[in-house]
Amino acid sequence: MIQEPSVAIVILNWNGFDDTVECLHSLRQTTYGNYKIFLVDNGSAGNEGPRLGEMFPEVQLICNETNRGFAGGCNDGMNRAIKEGFDYIITLNNDCLVDKNWLTHFIAGLTTAGADFGSARIMYYPETDLICSDGDGILPDGTGYVINPLQPFQGPGAIKPIFSACGAGAVFSSKCLEAVKIHGDQLFDELFFAYFEDIDLGSRLNTLSFKGVSIPDAVIYHKESKTAGARSFFKIYQSEKNRVLVELLNFPLWLIVSGELYYAARTLSRNFRKFLPGKQESAARPQPAKNFSPWNVLLKSRWWVIQNFSKIWNDRRERKSKGMISSRIRRHFCWDIERLLSAKLG
């Protein structure tokens, strides 16, 4: 009998007790046998970590004293899993539910495609007929965008190449993760804290010629933005700060310059479109926080870059010494103008 590859599922909890309970109950229905759950509690209030450990004794619990962000918390779980010798590592958001056969299809799809990392078909919840993500792509300015957002599911689809796996439901071989470690043990770069850390990881993986795919038969359901809130100031600020980080840490210098020119042109185009008939944003789309100001986001994100420039510079130097910065990344840029103007950010 052929042994199933061993799989570690890393779930991060931060003040999301009820969602995490529902997620872990869902995982108990998984038909795949050879897996283990690593639950990382990121300094939640109310003693949530130990309470979850008591309710679900099958999980391996890691309790952090402080909130280490999505990147840091996931790193704690992924590194533990790698040290224990698991073949594959999965990151799964705590506000997700899974189809009972998701993991079987996830691993089978990845191995059949001969790929190193993959993204599940992430559906919205409770609108389970709408796609949330089929993986992520990248724009020339470092922005990550979601593939097929809000599209109705049309039935079984083919496995397709992707630039990056969405961190809400991603699978990686331990081999490819080991190859792109930075700062000793960081898989997700902890400068990102939250958002676009999966785009950054995808950049490193692609530069070193690892292969990523979208696996449509591996189905999970996502209650998107339950932690930060849809279009919250925190999410908008982090996305802009980390867009710049993707450029600074992964692009050759000439691509950084062209990327910022592209960003300026894209921003002007998107603002101009708001004044065109029929181009106003849907009233159903979540609106930014009341204190949201584009200039506030722009200035705050640039000030963060200035304050952390020495860390960014050392990070970039390490990547360059390991061959992780290359103009080859431009092959993965999406240049579909209409799609870019309306792209949903990752």
CATH code, domain with 273: 3.90.550.10
The two tokens of residue 25 are: 């109950």
Per residue of the chain (346 residues), what is the pLDDT tens digit?
A: 678 999 999 999 999 999 999 999 999 999 999 999 999 999 999 999 999 999 999 999 999 999 999 999 999 999 999 999 999 999 999 999 999 999 999 999 999 999 999 999 999 998 889 999 999 999 999 999 999 999 998 877 899 999 999 999 999 999 999 999 999 999 999 999 999 999 999 999 999 999 999 999 999 999 975 455 556 889 999 999 999 999 999 999 999 999 999 999 888 887 766 666 655 544 444 444 555 678 899 999 999 999 999 999 999 999 999 999 999 999 999 976 655 555 445 5
CA distances from 26 to 30, 185, 285, 294, 298 (A): 8, 30, 29, 39, 40
Q: Cβ(249)–Cβ(315) under 8 Å?
A: yes
Q: What is the pLDDT of residue 45?
A: 96
Sign of CA dihedral 298, 304, 309, 315: negative
- d(Cα 188, Cα 167) in Å, to the nearest integer? 10
Residue 333's identity, in one-letter code, is F
The two tokens of residue 167 are: 């961190």
Q: Cβ(142)–Cβ(246) under 8 Å?
A: yes
Residue 291's identity, in one-letter code, is N
Q: Which residues constitute the domain of residue 285?
A: 1-346
Q: What is the pLDDT of residue 275?
A: 61
Number of domains the chain is built from: 1
